[in-house]
Amino acid sequence: MNDWPEWFPDACPPAEARDAEGHFYRLVDGVEILESDFWSHEQEYLAGKRPRRSWSSGKLCDFVSCSIFALRSDIEQTRKGVGPLKHKLVALGDITGEGKLLETPTNGNSHHNWWRTQTETAWVNFKVVE
């Protein structure tokens, strides 16, 4: 049984999500990788870092996940397209663990939503690959 936070919306992660497994890329703030690099919006809100601003009422489950990519070219393309992401670093890690994973492409790229449990520690596997 996964230990999902009580603040996850109902039916989240969705039924079609699969067990988290494999290597993925994530943008992080520095060489020293912190758990906060993997925080979802909701976690940032709960930590008092940001307000709760949602982009769609139907996407609340997205709001508690974090973005990862299967392909390095896709994450690098994403980073190039957005001013505040340009200074971030690309990290690669094995996400195999308690989490759930769902392919959620934007314009056919390899974007995935990763939902992490309260006790998920797979983020420690990530290393900056710049």
Partner 1 sequence: MSWLPKNSILGDLDIEEVFVFFDGPRVFTCRSLTDQIYLAGWAEENLDSDLWLYLPISNARLKMIRSGAWPLKDAYLNPEAEIYCARLHHDLQIPDEVTVIDKDSLEDKWLPDDDFRIEIQTATHSAAVSPEVLLRKSIQEGRTRFRIEIQSDNRLRSEASTRQVAAVLSATQNVIDNFGNIELATDPSQEGRFSRQVRDKMDTDVIELAAASFVIEIGSSDGDDLFGDSPVARVLNRLISLLSVQIDPDSLWESLADLKPRAAKSFRAFVNELSNLDSNVTLAMANTQHKYRSEALTSDQLIDLKLLLRQIVPDEIKELRGRMNLFLGNNERRNFGLRDLYSDKAFEGRVGESAVSQFEHATLGNIYDVVLSSYSNFDKGAGIKSEKYVLEQLTVSTDQTPIPLQLKLINEVAAPIFSAKEELS
Residues engaged in binding partner 1 (CB under 8 A): 27, 40-41, 49-56, 62-63, 66-67, 77-78, 80-87, 104, 106-107, 111
What six digits make up the tokens of 73? Answer: 């070219």
Instruction: Name the token pair of 38.
Output: 């993997």
Q: CB–CB of 114/24 below 8 Å?
A: yes
Q: How would you label 93-114 residue by residue, b for 16+ Cβ within 10 Å and e otherwise?
A: bebebbbbbbeeeeeebbbbbb
Q: Is the dihedral of CA 77, 58, 61, 8 positive or negative?
A: positive
Question: How many residues make up the chain in this entry?
Answer: 130
Residue 130 CB neighbours (<10 A): 6
